Amino acid sequence: MENTNVKPKFKVVAALIVDGNKFLICKRPYTKARGGLWEFVGGKVEKGEALTKALIRECYEELKIEIEPQGLFYSLTHNYDDIDIELYLFKATITGGTLTLTEHIDARWIGIDEIKDYEFCPADYEILDKIQLDFTAL
């Protein structure tokens, strides 16, 4: 018998954009899954698309910023109730554009001491632990 309960699986990219001692987080719209939670800018990788190309595209689509990926910071898999994801977080720098919210409802630059003040998507907590350990190396 065929299993009809198979969840979709996606490759997802996200950007860890650092400016001094702060990094950029974005708040998901309430109309989406995990609405109202904070995350790193990014999104789904399209079929056949390179991870860094997807990241550049997603950052421009969501925030109207041009970025330059600086290398993979962390990757993980996470199983949500509705989807499974392979998440690839790249360090990145902004090289152009003006930060403009096109999808998210808010964006903030926060320091590691402020992480506790925000409720993040569950997949991001493992990343946030790594950031707190290694932030001075960024």
Residue 138 has pLDDT above 90, yes or no: no
Residue with tokens 């109202």: 36
For 101, other C-beta atoms within 10 Å of its C-beta total 14
- The per-residue pLDDT for range 47-78, each reduced to its tens digit, is 999 999 999 999 999 999 999 999 999 999 99
Average pLDDT, rounded, for the chain: 93
Residue 41 has pLDDT above 60, yes or no: yes
Chain length of the chain: 138
User: In the prediction, which pLDDT does 84 show?
Assistant: 94
* pLDDT, average across residues 28-48: 95
Enter the tokens of residue 71: 């290398």
CATH entry 3.90.79.10 includes domain 9-137: yes
Domain locations along the chain: 9-137
* pTM of the entire predicted model: 0.90
Residue 36 phi, psi (nearest 5): 85, -5
Residue 11 has pLDDT above 80, yes or no: yes
Q: Is 134 helix (H, G, I), strand (E, B) or coil?
A: helix
